[in-house]
Amino acid sequence: MLRRLTRHPRFLSAAARLLGLYIALIHRTTRWTLVGDAAMAALREKPGPVILSFWHERIALGPRPWIGMQRLIPALRPKRPQVLVSQHRDGVFIGEVVARFDLDMIYGSSSKGGSQALRTMLKILRKDGVVAITPDGPRGPRRVAAAGVGQLAAVSGAPVFPYAAMTTRHFRLRSWDRMVIPLPFARGLIVLHPPFTVPPHAAEAGRAAVETALTEACDAADAWAEARRAGRDGAAELAAAQALARRAPPAFPAVADVSPGDAA
């Protein structure tokens, strides 16, 4: 009976509202530091279209970097990111949780509704919109990017903005992604990885680049949080995160020229 109750739409809707309120409390009671020189410069120069990307484990922290970007760049304030979530019950639940942060949902995944979701995201990007993707969602493997993010970036030509956030007070669930649950009254670090565009011929290389960038951003934010938790000031870890945020974007191989003689 309890299991049936927890799956009832009204229960899930109420739980989503409560969780959304909790996440809002986390965002407001955390003292945030944002590092992302290259990303912020790129957004000021060209505020759209944008592909935001973060690992599934950071969903509770996912809206906060965008809020910080909007506050610093007025041209972003009218934009409402469209977040790709699964059509599964869990995806619908997550959608209701993050909706309070002025985010709209696109329902689909690599296994169900993926083609339609890709077409929808392309339309949004072609109108200088913003889409957000957790490329290892909805069910993993953890920190392994699915092909969709590379395909979307390659076809649309929109820049990818990988990022990660972490707080000094949190715990992790024993879920497949080891989801981070932040706690209130902490300090937090947002790491914006340098953005990059993916050439039309390099979808797989783009997928791999997103995977690497997201893990680098997570590792940098985590190292800073662990240093602070250990009683250190985290200055060295913060400097390392700043260096990552200023680094040149990844390079992609050019298409090899093939002459008629070579093709024969």
The amino acid that residue 47 corresponds to is: P
Partners of residue 106 on adjacent β-strands: 84
Q: How far, in Å, CA of 226 to CA of 198, rounded?
A: 33
- Distances in Å between the alpha carbon of 111 and those of 92, 122, 207? 16, 18, 17
Q: How far, in Å, CA of 139 to CA of 117, rounded?
A: 17
- Residues 91-118 pLDDT 10s: 677 778 877 788 888 877 655 556 888 8
- For the cut 90, the answer to whether the pLDDT of residue 16 exceeds it is no
Q: How far, in Å, CA of 264 to CA of 141, rounded?
A: 41
Comparing CA positions, the residue from 118, 122, 143 lying closest to residue 54 is 143
Q: How far, in Å, CA of 62 to CA of 88, rounded?
A: 20
Comparing CA positions, the residue from 214, 237, 239 lying closest to residue 224 is 237
Domain extents for the chain? 31-248
Q: Does domain 31-248 have CATH number 3.40.1130.10?
A: yes
Give the residue ranges of DSSP H helices in the chain.
2-6, 9-29, 37-45, 63-72, 89-98, 114-126, 147-156, 203-229, 235-246, 260-263
pLDDT at residue number 100: 78
In angstroms, how far apart are the furthest CA atoms of the chain? 72
Q: Residue 62 — very low, low, confident or very high, per pLDDT cuts 50/70/90?
A: very high
Match 């990660």 to its residue by tokens. Answer: 164
pLDDT at residue number 213: 98
- Residues 28-44 pLDDT 10s: 999 999 999 999 999 99
